[in-house]
Amino acid sequence: SVALLDGASMIIGYGADLQQSTITVQQGGVLILDGSTVKGDGVTFIVGNINLNGGKLWLITGAATHVQLKVKRLRGEGAICLQTSAKEISPDFINVKGEVTGDIHVEITDASRQTLCNALKLQPDEDGIGATLQPA
């Protein structure tokens, strides 16, 4: 288990084995999952448990047109910031598989961190084992 407190950040490279981990991101903390070196259309990040207590989760991709976050549990209040250089962003650009609860907003930025869209949030699926993007 790891807790990222106010002002703390942690960058984790793509492919790291995080399936058994629990990461808590407090207000002012940032967890960065870096998939910028992945070639191809799809990037999948796999993490055990993520607790957002006002913190941010950055998902950094290259030109991927589909991003998947697989978790055992994603809960709390906070933001997911998705940084991409993809030319087009479809409604199913990002999806989350696993138990999702809380108030989690999503912001999509380009490679220079200019906001492309920030009026989105994760809406848990009816079956309780995933979430999709919805207008905030």
Per-residue pLDDT reduced to its tens digit, 11-36: 999 989 999 999 999 999 999 999 99
- Place 55 in a pLDDT band, splitting at 50, 70 and 90: very high
Q: Which of 58, 51, 69 is nearest to 5 (CA)?
A: 51
What is the structure's pLDDT at 84?
Answer: 86
With DSSP H G I counted as helix, E B as strand and the rest as coil, what are the percentages for the chain, rounded to 5?
0, 70, 30
Rounded to the nearest angstrom, the gap between the alpha carbon of residue 87 and the centroid of all alpha carbons in its chain is 19
Domain count, the chain: 1
Tokens of 109: 């930025």
What is the structure's pLDDT at 91?
Answer: 62
Segment of 21-25, 61-65, 90-94, 98-102 carrying the highest mean pLDDT: 21-25
What is the structure's pLDDT at 58?
Answer: 94
Q: What is the extent of the structural domain holding 131?
A: 2-135
Residue that wins the pLDDT comparison between 24 and 96? 24
Q: How many CB atoms lie within 10 A of CB 127?
A: 6
- Which pTM value belongs to this model? 0.89
